[in-house]
Amino acid sequence: MNAVTQITPVILSGGAGTRLWPLSREDRPKPLLALTGDRTMLQLTALRTAGDPRFTAPIVVAGQVQADAIEAQLAAVGIAPLALILEPEGRNTAPAIALAALAAPPQSPLLVMPSDHAITDLPAFHRAIDAMLPPVAEGWLATFGITPDGPETGYGYIRIGPAIAPGVHRVARFVEKPDEDAARAMLAEGGHAWNGGIFLFRADALLEALARHAPAMLAACRAAMAHGVRDGGRLLPDAAEFAACPADSIDYAVMEKADRVAVAPVAMGWSDVGSWDALHALGPHDGNGNALDGEIVALDVRNCLIRSDGPTIAAIGVSDLIIVASGNNVLVMPRGRSQEVRSIVAALQAKETGE
Amino acid sequence: MNAVTQITPVILSGGAGTRLWPLSREDRPKPLLALTGDRTMLQLTALRTAGDPRFTAPIVVAGQVQADAIEAQLAAVGIAPLALILEPEGRNTAPAIALAALAAPPQSPLLVMPSDHAITDLPAFHRAIDAMLPPVAEGWLATFGITPDGPETGYGYIRIGPAIAPGVHRVARFVEKPDEDAARAMLAEGGHAWNGGIFLFRADALLEALARHAPAMLAACRAAMAHGVRDGGRLLPDAAEFAACPADSIDYAVMEKADRVAVAPVAMGWSDVGSWDALHALGPHDGNGNALDGEIVALDVRNCLIRSDGPTIAAIGVSDLIIVASGNNVLVMPRGRSQEVRSIVAALQAKETGE
């Protein structure tokens, strides 16, 4: 492959995320945390393409407050980004990807990856990329269709259409986050995949689609980049121009509207690590099904996630609990309810405001 | 009452106690903690007799490392001890009480109280004292017989004999900590009380009983006091002499052997606060049966004890748990298993030693 057809990884590192409170907080967003091992989610994401000659260094799109931490974390694993685009404010995924597409070589396929997902089967991920490249070279916009392993209601689904290339299908239809009955029906029927938010498309193809389906967004992003400032490896789009940019997801703005949209169904040990339950599922587990991290003493403890970044947590005789100590906070809840962490964060904020 | 017959409270403040770990630790023993409200167990114990002209200021017997804290805590509630006897080392309750008896006016009844028990019905406590005083004046050694409210296996029991005065009975027999079947049998049979470790006897009567039943102990305590040092309100028994003193409990050394031993059965909301379960039982409880103390956010939480002296604890959807954050430690266990805190402490010590 020559330089023109090298793939440009685009890492989206926006959003603080409170679903892993108290570990993830405004000032310690999830991508910057080491959740599944010694390396942070951002580092693991960048390392999925590093050292492979088919890929350039990544373009990272992030908020300005994260700039120093991102550069330091990437440097720690020997990665210098091709560009670090610092959004003046978050506008959802479509503008972030548009900015990256405007900074990338026009014909380069962009591998768009959220910075906080886990992928445990890296060869499967790379095989899916290989399969997607021919249709992507022809201008198809491609998404990774995660093989569902349960009736999840937290993800959008994709109905898989006819094959257009080996391992790649036309998207028949995008399905909004379903209720549980609908999710079960899709699972029973087969032919559906989760929309994991990982994409592969040529920069120019994405920009063409934006021009057709989201022209105001593209215009604002173009203007923001044209009037932006370069500061070493950092690109700072113009804040006033970017403020005019509509906020929208890449799914709504482009993928659900464009003509030639493809999906590569793939089982690659994917998780969005979107909850403590998801993190418990990822493991690793001890012989009693516990995912333990930090200074933990567990006696007669089963199927718990216990995690501390400071205090010693001593647990005895409990099962199916999530126990997390971080900073000046401790969380205790049963497994299966970790979506309710938001309620805790809301209650804490209300308490702070009220007092 | 004249000065001779004023009652001298004797407060025993020995032992660190690990059963309320992580709150109670070597350097923060249970008597010095505020467990049931704003005041510490020591303060609450001293306040049970303070301001009542029938009582002198208390004699406190404690370890040397606690001296400053004890004086400060008592001063904070306006109490200056009659004497603060600082044992060179802990030798169980009998020598501690012997030291106090040697420092007290000989004919004064000593009201011996552990410094870490809760008594919620103070009038009942004082009525029992009133009932005991006549036989105590005649030389009886009296103990408070706590009316049992369950088949506890953690306490010694007293079989109540015939009445010797209104509300006071001869002790028929002391019963060692029973197994559960034996405890249930005593409860079903009636006529038994818990031995709560609170006593009333004249100083000279106690010393006479010691002379008969534990002469070596009495001799060592006498010598330690004779060669001790007075430092303001502090009495420091001689360490070398005290080292010769046998260690024993007042029950074994005296009460189970003496002739005229009385018990006043009393229901006075007593608890030895000997476990997190005991502290949960003491309350106060919110509308969901939770005993909460510190910065706690509890959503859909029932019958839990949650306590923090620092971190914010957020709990959601749990019931019947004990959750305690203190210092650099967090404890999580089900209610009903709090006797197993010792296992945790042992495991932590083993870990520290092993690493």
Residue-wise pLDDT tens digits, A174-202 = 999 999 999 999 999 999 999 999 999 99
Predicted TM-score of the model (pTM): 0.88
pLDDT of res. B66: 92
pLDDT of res. B355: 53
Q: Which amino acid is at A334?
A: P
DSSP structure class, residue A58? P
* CB distance A116 to A41 below 8 Å: yes
Q: Which of B136, B193, B126, B143 is nearest to B165 (CA)?
A: B136
* Average pLDDT, rounded, for chain B: 94
User: Is the pLDDT confidence value at B80 over 80?
Assistant: yes
Place of tokens 């440097």: A75
* Average pLDDT, rounded, for chain A: 94
Q: Which residues of A touch B323 (CB under 8 A)?
A: 330, 332
Q: Which pLDDT tens digit goes with each residue over A27-77?
A: 788 999 999 889 999 999 999 999 999 999 999 999 999 999 999 999 999
- Which positions in chain B have a beta carbon within 8 angstroms of at least one beta carbon in chain A? 22, 297, 299, 308, 310-318, 321, 323, 325, 328-334, 337, 340-341, 343-344, 347-348, 351
Please judge whether B329 and A314 are an interchain contact, meaning their C-beta atoms are less than 8 angstroms apart.
Answer: yes
pLDDT of res. B230: 95
Distance CA B255, CA B35 (A): 30
User: Is the pLDDT confidence value at A132 over 90?
Assistant: yes
CB–CB contacts below 8 A, A to B: 108
pLDDT of res. B349: 84
* CB distance A298 to A193 below 8 Å: no
pLDDT of res. A13: 94
Q: Which of A199, A314, A341 is nearest to B18 (CA)?
A: A314
pLDDT of res. B342: 87
Helices (H) and strands (E) in chain B, counts: 11, 19
Q: Do strands B168-175 and A168-175 pair parallel, antiparallel, or not at all (unpaired)? A: unpaired
The residue in chain B having the minimum alpha-carbon distance to the alpha carbon of residue A343 is B299
Confidence at A16, pLDDT banded by 50, 70, 90: low
Q: Do strands B192-202 and B109-114 pair parallel, antiparallel, or not at all (unpaired)? A: antiparallel
Range A119-133 average pLDDT: 97
pLDDT of res. B200: 98
Q: Residues with Cβ < 8 Å from A346, sequence gap 6 or more?
A: none
Distance CA B293, CA B301 (A): 14
Please judge whether A314 and B340 are an interchain contact, meaning their C-beta atoms are less than 8 angstroms apart.
Answer: no
The token duo for B158 is: 């007293």
The CA-atom distances, in angstroms, between A318 and each of A300, B331, B339 are 7, 11, 15
Q: Which residues of A touch B319 (CB under 8 A)?
A: none
pLDDT of res. A135: 98
Distance CA A264, CA A135 (A): 11
Distance CA A291, CA A36 (A): 10
Place of tokens 């559906």: A192
Buried b (16+ CB within 10 A) or exposed e, A206-223: bbbbbeebbeebbebbbb
User: Is the pLDDT confidence value at B282 over 70?
Assistant: yes
Q: Which of B205, B226, B250, B4 is nearest to B103 (CA)?
A: B226
Q: Which residues of B touch A299 (CB under 8 A)?
A: 340, 343-344, 347
Whole-number percent of chain B with pLDDT over 70 = 98
Please judge whether A297 and B351 are an interchain contact, meaning their C-beta atoms are less than 8 angstroms apart.
Answer: yes
Q: Which pLDDT tens digit goes with each residue over B261-277?
A: 999 999 999 999 989 99
Distance CA A12, CA A90 (A): 11
Buried b (16+ CB within 10 A) or exposed e, A243-260: eebeebbbbebbbbebeb
pLDDT of res. B28: 82
Range B273-291 average pLDDT: 94
pLDDT of res. B16: 64
Distance CA B116, CA B272 (A): 7
Q: Which pLDDT tens digit goes with each residue over B120-175?
A: 999 999 999 999 999 999 999 999 999 998 998 889 999 999 999 999 999 999 99
pLDDT of res. B354: 66
pLDDT of res. A163: 98
User: Is the pLDDT confidence value at A3 over 90?
Assistant: no
Q: Which pLDDT tens digit goes with each residue over B309-348?
A: 999 999 999 999 999 999 899 999 999 998 889 888 888 8
Range B64-72 average pLDDT: 94
pLDDT of res. A85: 98
For residue A300, the distance in angstroms to the closest alpha carbon of chain B comes to 10
The torsion region of residue B327 among left (phi > 0), alpha (psi -120 to 50) and beta comes to: left
Q: Which pLDDT tens digit goes with each residue over B240-251?
A: 999 999 999 999
pLDDT of res. A4: 46
The residue in chain A having the minimum alpha-carbon distance to the alpha carbon of residue B326 is A311
Confidence at B353, pLDDT banded by 50, 70, 90: confident
Please judge whether A313 and B328 are an interchain contact, meaning their C-beta atoms are less than 8 angstroms apart.
Answer: no
For every residue of B300-355, DSSP letters joined together read S-BS-EEEESSSEEEEES-BSEEEEEETTEEEEEETT-GGGHHHHHHHHHHHHHH-
Confidence at A127, pLDDT banded by 50, 70, 90: very high
User: Is the pLDDT confidence value at A26 over 80?
Assistant: no
Q: Which pLDDT tens digit goes with each residue over A329-352?
A: 999 999 999 888 988 888 888 887
pLDDT of res. A2: 43
Distance CA B344, CA A318 (A): 13
Whole-number percent of chain B with pLDDT over 90 = 86
Collapsing DSSP states into helix, strand and coil, what is residue A78? coil
Confidence at B5, pLDDT banded by 50, 70, 90: confident
Confidence at B15, pLDDT banded by 50, 70, 90: low
Distance CA B325, CA B307 (A): 6
User: Is the pLDDT confidence value at A165 over 90?
Assistant: yes
User: Is the pLDDT confidence value at A279 over 50?
Assistant: yes
Q: Residues with Cβ < 8 Å from B242, sequence gap 6 or more?
A: B87, B88, B89, B91, B95, B220, B221, B224
Q: What angle do CA A214, A219, A222 make, to 5 degrees?
A: 125
The token duo for A200 is: 């592969």
Q: Which pLDDT tens digit goes with each residue over B24-62?
A: 877 788 999 999 889 999 999 999 999 999 999 999 999
Distance CA A350, CA A345 (A): 9
The residue in chain B having the minimum alpha-carbon distance to the alpha carbon of residue A317 is B333
For every residue of A178-207, DSSP letters joined together read P-HHHHHHHHHH--EEEEEEEEEEEHHHHH
